[in-house]
Structure 1
Amino acid sequence: MTTTVLPGGAASAPRFERPLRPREREGPFGPAELAAYHRDGYVEVPGLLGVAEVEAVRARLARLIAQPAAARPVSSLWLVGELARDSRLLDRARQILGARVRVHHGLIDDLPAFAGKGFAWRSDLERWHTGDDTAAPRAMTVSLVLCANLAVNGGLLLIPGSHRTIVSRSEGALPVEVIRGLTDRRGIHQFTGAPGTALFFDAHLLHGSGDNITPYPRTNVSVTFTGAEPA
């Protein structure tokens, strides 16, 4: 069952349908991984990309960052598009969301050594609907690790099972009492992974990140898929 949390000050009713249970279609995810995705809202796949592949993406990313700022958005689209067409990502997205999926957006999540800035707790789906109102309710993000995600360098923090709680708010950060209530019941999972690891997570899942004040950079590239089939 999906729970709806309406913090003080929220003026509207819940806006989103509950996340759909992963469909039992054939694909790369096994039954245990599908069950974990439904229960926790995420699943980790170590070694999805090989060492040489990670190095190739890193090299392309370095060239992209070296480009003039005006050219970076176009180059970013090419990089994200190539990753999104990789069957190791695409087939898993189709297994969860349906045979027809589309790419909603891509993100280079770069927390450089000593200067990386994190972000407050959020649900991507609510953020998109609040901002551009275009994302479908069925959506998942794949975050690919390019530099090791450690417990100390601003790795993602996830609230397991929070994808089944719809948090409706008008603006601003989520109230601390909401986060405290969810974490008291469900805890916090610190995502860590070696280069090449992939984190697949539901777009309803609440997650955040601390700053990176260590000498160790953390760089991920994320691709978000939305389901194009009727619910």
Structure 2
Amino acid sequence: MELTQSQIDQYNDAGYLVLPDVFSAEEVEVLRHEAAEITREHRPEIWREKSGAPRTAFGCHKYSEVFRTLSSDERLVAPVEQLIGETLYIHQFKVNPKVAFDGDNFPWHQDFVTWHEDDGMPEARAMNIAIFLDDVFTTNGALMFVPGSHKRGMIPTTPKENNRRWMDLADVEAMITTGSDIEVATGRAGSVLMFHGNSVHGSAGNMTPLPRRIVYVTYSAVSNAIQRPTRPEFIAHQTFEPVHATPPAAFAEYAESLRT
């Protein structure tokens, strides 16, 4: 899958891009089922809300054949390679369920500041690409972005709750002064969201009965491999094998075999 020049321009201007209807309903059904199975497990890679509801399942491509197969899908790898201009490795893989009625908020933050300060990633030559497993509305915990914020570069911040590098509120207040300074990334299940490591983003909690499950893959340029990791390997991967893109039909056929 190749981005058009218009899509590249949109991404470069806003720091994020939504690509509608990339994965079929049948593929999404398989991914939903696998995400549900994984988040029932109790293992160190799965972090939970205070209520016990799943918050993040890290590194599941390491122990799930479904997500391992997905992680090399050309529909994810090729657009990132196109923007970064180099062979990639997987820095992080995770599922964020944001369950109905119970999914908590993620405060405003940039991802690269954590990748740089806590993992030793040299440059912001890495980015996230995500698959919506549910319809994402403005009301069920969609990601919110400050468009163009990636152009400001990394904004230093100190670790806060649970050692997370949420942005300082003064920096957020300086950046968001009106509602038009925020855009919300919505789309149907099967849509794909890409965003820059320095894009300022966050999400509200989910108080609706509509789940908002999203799979995220963070790809980094192989030459940009992390140098001084402080986080567990299942969060910041410490093997840097290049990802070789597989045709979309490979995952589609695999998903179909699981449904029959």
After superposition, where does 1:1-231 map in structure 2 within 5 Å?
A: 28-69=2-43, 75-77=60-62, 78=64, 79-134=66-121, 136-166=123-153, 167-172=155-160, 173-184=166-177, 187-229=181-223
Aligned mates of 1:71, 1:180 — CA distance in 2:
34
Contact 1:142 1:199 in 2 (8 A): yes
1:81 alignment partner, SS class: helix
Kindly indicate whether the alpha-carbon contact (under 8 Å) linking 1:104 and 1:135 is maintained by their aligned counterparts in 2: no
- Secondary structure at 2:138's aligned position in 1? coil
Q: What are structure 2's unaligned runs of at least 5 residues?
A: 47-57, 161-165, 225-260
Q: What displacement does 1:147 show?
A: 1.3
**Per-residue deviation at 1:199?**
0.5
Q: Matched residues in 2 for 1:229 and 1:120: separation?
A: 30
C-alpha contact (below 8 Å) 1:51/1:195 kept by paired residues: yes
Structure 1 letter corresponding to 2:6: A
CA contact (8 A) 2:138 2:184 kept: yes
Shift of 1:218: 0.8
Partner of 1:12: none
Instruction: Please state how far the C-alpha of 1:131 moved relative to its aligned partner.
Output: 2.1
* TM value normalised by structure 1: 0.81
Question: 1:117 touches 1:210 (CA, 8 Å); kept in 2?
Answer: yes
AA aligned opposite 1:66: R
Q: Which deviates the most, 155-164 or 80-89?
A: 80-89
**Structure 1 residues 205 and 214, CA gap change in structure 2 (3 angstroms):** same
Tell me: CA distance 1:223–1:80, structure 2 relative to 1, closer, same or farther (3 Å).
farther
The aligned length equals 204
How far off its partner does 1:108 sit? 0.7
| CA contact 1:140–1:225 (8 Å) conserved in 2 | yes
d(CA) in 2 for partners of 1:74 and 1:122? Answer: 21
Which runs of no fewer than 5 residues in structure 1 stay unpaired?
1-26
RMSD of aligned Cα (Å): 2.1
Displacement of 1:67 after TM fit? Answer: 3.4
> How far apart are 1:99 and its partner, in Å?
3.2
CA drift of 1:60 comes to 1.4
Per-residue CA shift, 1:80-118, capped at 9, x if unaligned? 432221011111111011231111001111111111011
Q: How far, CA to CA, are the matches of 1:39 and 1:74 in structure 2?
A: 31
Q: Is the 8 Å Cα contact of residues 60 and 94 (structure 2) preserved in structure 1?
A: no
